[in-house]
Structure 1
Amino acid sequence: MMSKGYVWIITDGLTDLLSSMNSSIVESMQGVLGIKAHVPRSEKVDNFKRSWKRNFFQKYSDIDEAELNIIGLWAYDSIWALATAVERLNTVSPRYKKLDNGTNTTDLENLGISENGPKLRDSILLTKFQGLSGEFWLKDGQLQSWTFKIINIIGKGEREIGFWSPTHGLSGNSDLTTKTSSQTNLGAIIWPGETTVVPKGWETPASEKKLKIGVPIKDGFSNFVKVEKDRETNATLATGFCIDVFKAAVDSMKYALPYEFVPFEKADGESAGDYNELVYQVYLQKYDVVVGDVTILANRSNYVDFTVPITESGVSIVVPVKEDVRKNAWIFLKPLTMELWLTTGAFFIYTGFVIWVLEHGINKDFRGKPSQQVGTIFYFTFSTFVFAHKERMISNFARFVMIIWVFVVLILTSSYTASLTSLLTVQQLQPTIKDISDLKKTGDYVGYLSGSFVYELAQSLGIHSSKLRPYRNVEAFHEALSKGSQDGGVSAIIDEIPYMKVLLAKYCTKYKMVGPTHRTAGFGFVFPKGSPLVPDISRAILNVTEGDKMEAINREWFGQQVSCQEQGTTTSESLSFDSFKGLFIISRVASATAVLVSIIIFLYEHRNIITSECSVSQKISAMAVQFDKEKDIFSKGSKKIDFLCARTTDGRESCVAECNASTPQIPASSVSVHEDTVYSTEGSIPSTNHCTPIQDPPGVIEITSVN
C-alpha cells in the first residue's frame, strides 16, 4: 500500500503529532503528504520554546528528546485568553449557585455553578490578540488558523513543500501577502515508492487481468459495430466505427489497458436483449465496459457512467420525396412570393403615374386622348422590366426617378433570373411529410430501429404504439418506405441521425431528412458508476476526434459521403418582399420627392391663380387647365399672366387669364369668347390671346374686375 502508484494524505490531526511519534512509525510513512497549521517564526516563539525545553528537561531528565508542537502553543494561548477574559470581567468574589439534589450527592455536584459563567464565555469569545501560534480568534467556538503548511514525510522527519491559505491559495512562500508568491516555487514531492512521478491514484489492470468489454449483436448497421467468430481460434472479432474509435482512444493513452471483447449473446448466437439490458450488465458487474452504438440517456446514467459522445447527437425523421417541382407549369411564378409580385406590380403602376405627372405638360409622348395616356403609362413602366422602353425623358425630375427605378428593376430581374435558374437546374427534393405533426394527423405507420430507445421516444411525441413498426437494417427501412403506409410499409422512419445518414447515403435521391431534430447526447461508451477510467477515456476520445484519426475512421466505415441532408435543403425558397424592402423604399422616396418638388414649382409659377379673387373651385379648375396645357420649355422669354373673374351671359363665373407683357390691351367693356380669339363688341381688331385658360361657349361676358 506504500509502493509506487499510491498517494496518502494526512490531516493536521496526525501531522501535528509527528514529532511525538516513534521513529519506526515515521519511517513507514515515507512519501506521505500532510498539512499542519503554520506558526510564523519570531523571536518571541523561539525564546518561549527554549525556555520550555529547559524547564521540561529539568523536570523530566529521563527523556532524551522533546519538541513543543502547535498543540502546546495553542494551550499556552488558550490560558492567556482565559486570563485576559477574567481580567476584563473584573470579578472580585465569584459566586456559585448550589444545586439541591438531595443528600446523596457526589463531591463534583457540591461544587455548584458559577453565576459569572455566561459572562466569562462571552468575554472569551470576544478576546482577540497576537499569541505564540499566531492571531488568536475564536469563530463559532473554533480557533481559526489562517495559514497551513504542506509537508512531505521523508526520512525521519518532514520536508516543507509549500503553504496555503483560503484567501491567497497555494504558494511556495510563507509570506502569502507578497506579490512574488507563486506556485512555481513549490518544493518537489517524493511520492511513495521513492518516485517523483505523480501517481494516478489507482492501479491500472495488470496484463493478466483484462477488461471484459461487452459488445451488442446486430443484424444491421454493421458500419457501427459487427461481431464475428474466428473459425480457427473461436475468438471474438469485433469491428466497426465504434470499435475503431475505442481502440484509437486506448492506444492514445499513456498507460496500457488490456481488454477483450465479449458478445452480448445467447447460447445460439442471438442477441441476449436490447440495449437497456446490455447497459444494465455493467451495473451487475458482468461487463467492465460496453462499447458500441449505445445512446447516452438520462435514465441509463442513473446506474452507469458514460464517456463523452463519439457521434453526432439527435433523433430525426426520414421520409420519401415528392415528384420534382420542375414539372409544374407555373414554376415561373415561384421565384417571387405573391406579396412581392403584387408589390412589384403596384410599383410599376405607381412609377408610371409619377413619370406621366412629370412629363405630361412638356412631352408629346405622354399626351393625347385619356385612353391613349393610360396605355402609355402601363406600356412605358412595364416595358422597363425588360428595358424595352423607348420614350424620351425631358424633365430632369423624370430622369432622376427613372434612374432609381431602372436600378430597382435591374436588381429584381437579376434576382428573379437567378432564383428561376436554381429552380430549373438544381434537383428539388420535396418531402411528402414535413414534420411529426403531419404523421399524427394522417395516422400513418412509422418505422424505427428494433431494440432502440426511439420506440419510447416516439410514443412520448404522440405516435401511438400500434402505429410503430420495428426494422433491423437499412434494406428493411428502404423496403418499408417504398411500399408506403397503405401497402404494409411506413410513411416515415424515425431514429437517431447517425443511422439516418447511413440510410440517406445509400438512397440519396429517394428520401430526405425533415422536421426538427430531437436532441439526444449521441453514442458513448459505458463504464461502471464512479470508474476512474471515464475521464481518461473521455480525454483520449477528444484527442482522437480533434485529430486526423477520426476522419480516417469515418472514411473507412462510411466512405466519402455526400450529405443528402444538405442536398435536400438546397431548395430555392421564393424571394420575399423583405429582401427588397429597402429598394422599394428608396424608389418611393425618390418618386415622391420628385413629384413634391415639381408641384411646388408649378404652384409657384401659377401663384397668380392662388392669389386671385376667384373661388376655390375656380382656382382648382384653372390649375387643372394649366397642368393639362402643353408647354414649350424651349421657347425664349416668358409671359406674365394675370387672372380676372368674369361672368358669362348665362350667369356662370370663370377665372380668365390675360397676358400683360405682350398681348395688346382689349379696350372693350364687354367681349365675346370663341375658342382662342377674343372679340370686342365695339368692333376692335381681333386679338389672339393664347393665355386664356378656359374656353366658354360663345356669348357676351361682362368684366367685373381686373388684377
Structure 2
Amino acid sequence: MSRYVVVVLLLFLAAVSGAASAGSGCIGAMVDDTSRAGKEEKLAMEMAMEDFTAKVGDVASSSSVVELCTMASNGDPVRAASAALSLINERGARALVGLHSWQEAAFVAEIGRQAMVPVLSFATAAPPSPSRRWPFLVRVARDQHAQMRAVAAVVGSWQWRRVAVLYEDVDYGAAGAGVFPHLADALRAVGSEVDRRVPVPASPSDDALRRSLGDLMGGQCRVFVVHTSAKVAAALFAEASRMGMMATGYVWIVTDAIAGAVDSLDAATVSTMQGVIGVRNHNSMDTNSKNTRDHLIARFRKRFRSQYPGDDGDDDDEETRGPHFQALLAYDTIVAVASSMRKINATSPTRATDPNPSSPTADSGETIKIAVSSNGTDLLREIKSVRFRGVSGKFRFVDGEFAPPESFQLINVAAPRYHELGFWSPEHGFSKSAGCCSRSGGGGEPSMRFLGPVIWPGKPWDVPRGWAPANGSPFTVAVPEKAVFPDFVKVTRQHGRDDDDDPSFEGFSIDVFKAAVEHLPYNFHYKFVSFNETYDSLMQHDYMKSYDILVGDTSISSGRYKFVEFSQPYTEPGLVMVVPFMANAWDRSWIFLRPFSSSMWLMIIAIGFLSKVSMVVWLFVAVVLMTNYTASLSSLMTTQRLGKDAVTAELLRATGAAVGCSKGSVVGKYLEEVLMFPAHRIRRFAGDEDHHRALVSGEVKAAFLRVSHAKLLLAKYCNELMTTGPVYHVAGLGFVFPKGSPLLADISQAILEVFESGTIQRLETAMLSAYNCTPAADRDGDDAGDLYRLGPENYWGLFLMTLFASTASLAVYGVFFHHDTTCSGGGATGGHRPGDGRRDSATVDPGGGGGGGHGDGDEAPSSASGSAEHGGKDTEMVVISMECELTACPCLPQQK
C-alpha cells in the first residue's frame, strides 16, 4: 500500500476525527463479524475482559477501569482505518487489537505511529522488519521460519522433491519476502525445492481462482502448500474441488492460519478439504492452564450457542466446535494488554494535538487531528515485557517479536472434521504426543511415517508420489536404436524394421533401470520408446523435451549438463587404454641378462679368469652380485606383469600413432582437449567388433574406453587385448533427464540403493561371464587369469647359453684329442720331451717275439718266455701308458 493512498484515505476520514474524550482506558478491538472465526474472536475478547475485570474488580479504583471497545472492520482496510481513528479520537483507545490481513495492519499501523498507540496485529504475513517503519506495531503472530521448517519436515517425510506454493497476494511483497526464503531454505535442507509460486487475490473471484489452479494442473508438481487466510482458503478449496484437484494423486498442506481455524470452518468448507494435512502452532500447558482452558472452552461453547444460535446450520457438532486457536490467542492478548494498562495506569485521557508537520494534509490546507497517547511508549514497553501461561500456551515476546511455538501439531482433515496425527518440534522431530516430544520421552522420529497412516485426497491407500505427467500418460523412456556396445542397450524387433512392431529392450543399462524402478517408494508407470539419433543431438537440440528419461550407456560430462541433467552414475568411473596383448616371449626369455649392464657382464667374465688366484675375494664379490641380481630380476619380472612400459599416452602422442574411441562418445573430446591428441589421429568406431579389428590390425595403437566398456571388450577378446597405463578420472555412465525433472532425485536415490544391495555388481558379472573367455596361457593351469607363471620357456635363453658352452667344450676336447692320436699313428720312436730328463722306454716289438733289450737290467719278467703272447700284451700296455705320459702328443696303441 503506497503512502499516497494512505494520505487520501486519511483525508477522507478527517470528518470523523475529533477530540478525545476523557474517561476510563479503552482497548480498541477490530473484528470481522461476518465470519464464524471473527465472531469467535469477538466473544473470546469479551470473555477475557469480563474475566480480567472480575479478577481485579475488588481492588480496582474507578480511575483504573479498563474497557473493551469493539468495532467491525470485516477485513476491509478502509473500514479498519476508519475504525482506528474513531476508537482513538472518540473512544480514547490506548491500544488496538485485531487485524488479520496485512492490508488492514498497514493502514492502522500508520495511524498508530501518529497517535503513539500500540497496534497488536494477528496478521501472519508482513514485510521484512516492519517495526522499523511502524515502531508501535506489535505482531502477535508466530515466526514464519519455524513453521516453514515444520512444513518442510512433512514434505521430506514422503520424499516429495518439488512443491508449489499458493500464497495470498498482499502488498509490500510480504508473502514473498517473509515466507519464501524461509520455506526455500527449509526445503533445501530435506532435498526438495519450490517448483512455482502462485499468488491468490485477497478477495478472489471464481475466474481468478480457476486461472491460478489451472496453471498448477498444467505442470507436473502435485504437492501444494497453501499459505493464506482461512477466508481465502475456503474459496480456494471449493474451486479446487470443482476442478477435480482434490482427487487421488494430489497433496495439500495448509499452514497455521488455516489449520488453526478448522474448528471454526463450516461443514461445507470442511467437506471440500478432505485429505488435507494441516500444520498448526502448539504450546504445552501445565495443569492449571489446561484446567483453565477446558473450563473456558466449556463456557465459550455454551455462550456461543446462546449468542449465535444456528450460526452455521449444523447443530450436530455444535457441542465440539470452537473456539479455534486464534480465538484463544485473542483471549490472552486482551488479558496481556489490560494487565499492562493497569500496571502503568494508562487510563488518563489522551490529548488532541496539532498536526505533526509530517502529517498528511489536503490540497486545500485542511489538516487531520489525531489524538496522541501520553503514555503510549510506556505501554508499548510493558506489553512487550509480558510473560504468562494463558489458554493458548506461553504468551511472551523475545526481542520484540512474539515467541515461536514450542512445537507444531499435525492434523489430517477427514470426516467429520479432522483427526490429530501427532506433533513436530525443531529439536526432536516427530512424536505421537506433545509430552513425548523429547528423546527421553520416546519421541524424536525423523519421519512423519512414524505417526501412522494418513487419509489423502481421494482416500487412496498408497502415498501420492507428488508429481504426474502433464497429460496423464505413462512416462516415456527413450532407448537408442543403435548402441556402440549392444550388451548395454539393445533394441530388437520381431519382424525386421517395421515401425509398427513392438520391440524388445534388453541390455545391462535396461536391467539397471528396471532394478532402480523397483526401489521407488511409489508405483511408476512408464513405456520404452526407441529413437534413432545420437545422444548429443537428442540432448543439445531437443533438450530431452520429447522424453522423460533417456536410458542407455550415456557418458556423464560437464558439457552436457548445460542442456540436461544426469542421475547418479551406475557404472565405475574412469577411462582406460586398451592395447593389443604384448606378452613378448623373446624379451622374457632373455630377461635374465637385463639386471646387469654389458660392462658389468664383461667385468664378471674378467674376474672369472683371475678367480684361481683370488678365490676368497671372488666368493665375497659373488655373494654381493647374486643378491643384487636377484632383487633386480624380481623387479623386472614384476614390471613385465604390469605391461610394457613403452606404451603410454605420451609416447603415442609423440610418435604420431592413431588412437581410437567410441563413436558419439565424449571421449573423443577428452582425447583432444585433455590428452592433446590431434583430431585427425583419432578414429571413432561404432561397435566392439570394430574396436577389436582396428587394434589387432594395427589401424590404431590403442583405444581409450570407459572402464565398463573396456571390461566388456576384454571379456570377449581376452587372448588378444589388454589394458595398460593409468586410469583417467572421468565420470561413469548415467541416465539422462530434462532440466528440472522431478524424477531425478528419486531415480538417483534408487540407483544408490541398487548399488548398495549388490544388484549392479551381479548384473555386471552376469554380462561379462556370458562370454567365458579364458586366456590361452591359463587354459591348462589352475590359476585362471595369471598369464605370467614361470616355465621353461621363460629361461630358454639361459639354457641355450648352457647348451652352447657345453657343446663348445666338447668340440674343443674332441678336436684336441683327435689331433694327439694322429701324432703317434706312424710308429713310436724313442725320444725326449723338451725339458724332460728321463729316458724314453725301450722299443718293444709289437709281435712280442724279438729279443728286445731291457732297460737298465734291474727289472725282469717273473714268468717264463713261454707265455710270450699274454706277457707281451701286458708289457705292451704298460709301455704305451708310460710312453703317452712322457711324449708330447697323446698316443694310441698300435696294432699289428
| TM-score interval (norm. to shorter) | 0.5 to 0.7
SS of residue paired to 1:109: coil
Contact 2:508 2:763 in 1 (8 A): no
Distance 2:775 2:290 in 1: 74
Contact 2:410 2:421 in 1 (8 A): yes
Q: What is the correspondence of 1:370-385 to structure 2 with a 5 Å cutoff?
A: 375=614, 377-382=616-621
Distance 1:125 1:217 in 2: 71
Distance 1:58 1:321 in 2: 98
TM value normalised by structure 2: 0.48
Distance 2:438 2:661 in 1: 65
Counterpart residue number, 1:455? 668
Counterpart residue number, 1:433? 647
Counterpart residue number, 1:698? none
% same residue: 31
Correspondence 1:38 to 2:282: yes
Distance 2:572 2:465 in 1: 31
Alpha carbons of structure 1 residues 53 and 474: separation in structure 2 relative to 1, 3 Å: closer
Moved more, 7-16 or 315-324: 315-324
Correspondence 1:8 to 2:252: yes
Moved more, 111-120 or 25-34: 111-120
Q: Which amino acid counterpart does residue 319 of structure 1 have in structure 2?
A: V
Distance 1:80 1:450 in 2: 79
Structure 1 position 475, deviation (Å): 3.6
1:236-280 CA-partner distances (Å, limit 9, x unpaired) = 343333233334544676876554443322xxxxxx3x3122235
Alpha carbons of structure 1 residues 530 and 414: separation in structure 2 relative to 1, 3 Å: same
How many residue pairs match? The answer is 504
Counterpart residue number, 1:191? 456
Correspondence 1:98 to 2:312: no
Q: Which residues of structure 1 form unaligned runs of 5+?
A: 266-271, 346-370, 388-408, 573-707
Counterpart residue number, 2:737? 527
Contact 1:173 1:181 in 2 (8 A): no
Distance 2:530 2:580 in 1: 36
Counterpart residue number, 1:22? 266
Counterpart residue number, 1:560? 772
User: What is the root-mean-square deviation of aligned Cα atoms in Å?
Assistant: 4.6
Distance 1:316 1:259 in 2: 35
1:315-336 CA-partner distances (Å, limit 9, x unpaired) = 2222345562753676226579
Contact 2:262 2:324 in 1 (8 A): no
Q: What is the correspondence of 1:71-220 to structure 2 with a 5 Å cutoff?
A: 71-86=326-341, 98-100=355-357, 109-111=368-370, 113-114=372-373, 116-118=375-377, 120-139=379-398, 141-175=401-435, 176-177=437-438, 179-182=440-443, 186=451, 188-202=453-467, 209-218=473-482, 220=484
Q: Which residues of structure 2 form unaligned runs of 5+?
A: 1-244, 605-609, 777-783, 791-896
Distance 2:380 2:729 in 1: 61
Q: What is the correspondence of 1:354-433 to structure 2 with a 5 Å cutoff?
A: 375=614, 377-382=616-621, 429-433=643-647
Counterpart residue number, 1:294? 554
Structure 1 position 69, deviation (Å): 1.9
Alpha carbons of structure 1 residues 445 and 549: separation in structure 2 relative to 1, 3 Å: closer
Moved more, 129-138 or 525-534: 525-534
Using CA pairs below 8 Å that are at least 6 residues apart, which structure has the higher relative contact order?
A: 1
Alpha carbons of structure 1 residues 417 and 297: separation in structure 2 relative to 1, 3 Å: closer
Structure 1 position 171, deviation (Å): 0.9
Counterpart residue number, 1:262? 529
Counterpart residue number, 1:244? 511
Distance 2:554 2:660 in 1: 19
Moved more, 223-232 or 59-68: 59-68
Structure 1 position 15, deviation (Å): 1.2
Alpha carbons of structure 1 residues 335 and 155: separation in structure 2 relative to 1, 3 Å: farther
Alpha carbons of structure 1 residues 168 and 542: separation in structure 2 relative to 1, 3 Å: closer
SS of residue paired to 1:515: strand
Structure 1 position 430, deviation (Å): 1.2
Contact 1:319 1:431 in 2 (8 A): no
Counterpart residue number, 1:67? 322
Moved more, 279-288 or 25-34: 279-288
Structure 1 position 535, deviation (Å): 4.9
Alpha carbons of structure 1 residues 177 and 248: separation in structure 2 relative to 1, 3 Å: closer
Counterpart residue number, 1:307? 567
Q: Which amino acid counterpart does residue 155 of structure 1 have in structure 2?
A: A
Correspondence 1:497 to 2:745: no
Counterpart residue number, 2:545? 285
Q: Which amino acid counterpart does residue 292 of structure 2 have in structure 1?
A: K
Structure 1 position 294, deviation (Å): 0.8
Structure 1 position 149, deviation (Å): 1.3
Distance 2:461 2:367 in 1: 58
Counterpart residue number, 1:469? 683
Distance 1:143 1:97 in 2: 38
Distance 2:266 2:382 in 1: 40
Distance 2:647 2:554 in 1: 29
TM value normalised by structure 1: 0.60
Structure 1 position 23, deviation (Å): 0.7
Contact 2:511 2:763 in 1 (8 A): no
Correspondence 1:49 to 2:297: yes
